Structures are given as structure tokens and as C-alpha cells.
Amino acid sequence: MPVIKYEQIQMSDAVMDGAARVLKAVAVGPQEGWDDYVLRVFRLGPGGYSPKHRHDWEHVNYVIAGHGRLTIGKETTELDPGDFAFIPPETEHQYENAGDDDFEFICIVPERGEY
């Protein structure tokens, strides 16, 4: 079983129209033997946000650090370290950094959601 140390993940700019100050790393996926899913780490800098978007797959989140907001449909919820979230398929959603430090979370999606 591969072990990926947090310090070893390689963050890079997330390429998404309508996003600001977002970094992303794929920590676990097909290369590590998990063929059906991908575990990603997102880091939103202060003032950072993802685009409002939707897609045909679900995803699961776990907040690692910082303070953020997640809007799912018309409902916005504050997020702190240790919180979990589930976004159903075909549901508009957006992440925002709501603090002065980096907001960082894990995002697990089906493998097709990464590409």
C-alpha cells in the first residue's frame, strides 16, 4: 500500500475558468492503484474561490485547514477543520476561502471527474 506524505504532494495551479488563487494536487488515484476514484487536495489562498459549477458526479470533502464557505445549490455553510461535505451530482456548488489563512480540503471524486 503506497503511503503519501503530506509534505511530498505537489501543489500546482488549478486550471478552472472563474477561479482565483486555487492550487491542487492529486494525492491518491490510479497511479497508486485506486482505479475508480481520485483523492485530491485543494488549497485556496486568502480571497480564493472556485467557480460556481456542476457536473454529473458526486464528491466528498474533508476540511484540513483554514476557514471556508461551501455553497451547495442555494445553501451556504461555513466550514472549519474536521468538517465533511457531500456534493450530489448535477448540483451547483462553489468553495470560497472565508479567512485570512489558506483554506485547504480533500476532495474525492470518481476517476472520470479528474479529467
Look at residue 98 in the predicted model and tell me its pLDDT.
98
Question: Is 60 inside any structural domain?
Answer: no
Question: Is 20 inside any structural domain?
Answer: yes
Distance CA 114, CA 1 (A): 22
pLDDT tens per residue, range 14-70: 988 999 999 999 999 998 999 999 999 999 999 999 999 999 999 999 999 999 999
Report yes or no: 68 and 97 within 8 Å, Cβ to Cβ: yes
Question: Is 1 inside any structural domain?
Answer: no
Report yes or no: 12 and 23 within 8 Å, Cβ to Cβ: yes
Other CB atoms within 10 Å distance of the CB of residue 55:
16
Question: Is 113 inside any structural domain?
Answer: no
**Domains contained in the chain, number:** 1
Question: Is 44 inside any structural domain?
Answer: yes
Domain hosting residue 20, numbered range: 8-54+66-106
Look at residue 114 in the predicted model and tell me its pLDDT.
75
b (16+ CB within 10 A) / e for 26-41: bbbbeeeeeeebbbbb
CATH number of 15's domain: 2.60.120.10
pLDDT band at 108 (very low <50, low <70, confident <90, very high): very high
